[in-house]
Amino acid sequence: MTALLPEAPIFKATGVGCRFGGVIALDSVDFQVGPDEIVGLIGPNGSGKTTLLNVLSGIYRASSGSLEIDGKPSRFKSSRRLSRDHGLARTFQNIRLCPSLTVRDNVLIGMHSGFRWYDALWTGGRGSRERRSVERVEEILEFVGIADKRDEIATDLAYGDQRRVEIARALATNPRLLLLDEPAAGMNPREARVLVDLIKRIHDEREIAIVVIEHNMNVVMNTASRVMVLDAGLCIAHGDPKTVSSDPHVLEAYLGKRFRDA
């Protein structure tokens, strides 16, 4: 199992805990991701997957644990600094798009860090950063396959397309690590297959490390090189997808004790 761990993780969190009042959402979890990995994060509902993602992306504050970024110890940072300085991007379990903006404007929000203050008054003309950003957004929309919908209001799109807008927006931040929170939720099998393909392409062509939370096992098994299973705020299994899916603890967590030996 240890052989699977990356040699030089870009993000490495040790003993991460997160509690709200008396409720322990995350007990103590070790988590790391290397520059060339797709890590699957699975577990029953309420096991703390999204909390882990929220802590890693700086949306929740960890109550315990330590963090290393590129091998250097670091405090847990705000989601803004993680996005701007450390190349971390994410999507949300409940799709969060700006409901009054077009697809293109939504994705442009991801480009925010690239602008300097004087760009606020230079929004047109060749060579302006605005123009160049629009061109890059075009390329990203092309890449995720929704270029033809660029001028539509983002929340008018079909569910699967909205997920892709979120991914496009995350890609626009030019990330090294992309956290996907249930990207296949609400997708039909065909859309899920397209998604698997997209995740692989993001990883292969853009060389971005990916962490994916997913309930759809087809998606996890077909993308992840390493899988981590959470239950009740603890990591109960960890390894390559095949081993994990037959691990007795995992079966117990998902199906209950009775099925463990069946």
Q: For binding to other proteins (CB under 8 A), which residues are involved?
A: 20-21, 23, 25, 45-46, 48, 50-51, 54, 57-60, 78-80, 83-84, 89-90, 92-94, 96-101, 105, 108-113, 115, 119-123, 129-130, 133, 153, 155, 158-159, 169, 172-173, 182, 185-186, 215
CB of 70 to other proteins, least distance (A): 19
Q: What one-letter code names the amino acid at 52? A: L
When the beta carbons of 13 and 171 are compared against other proteins, the nearer one is: 171
CB of 76 to other proteins, least distance (A): 14
CB of 50 to other proteins, least distance (A): 5
Q: Which of 79, 84, 83 minimizes the C-alpha distance to 61?
A: 79
Q: What one-letter code names the amino acid at 122? A: W
End-to-end Cα separation, the chain, in angstroms: 25
Phi/psi for 17 (5° steps) reads -125, 150
262 by Cβ neighbours in 10 Å (0-12 / 13-18 / 19+) ranks as: exposed
| 239 bridge partner residues | 227
- The CA distance from 176 to 149, in Å, is 26
CB of 92 to other proteins, least distance (A): 7
- The CA distance from 259 to 86, in Å, is 43
When the beta carbons of 38 and 53 are compared against other proteins, the nearer one is: 53
CB of 225 to other proteins, least distance (A): 23
When the beta carbons of 67 and 89 are compared against other proteins, the nearer one is: 89
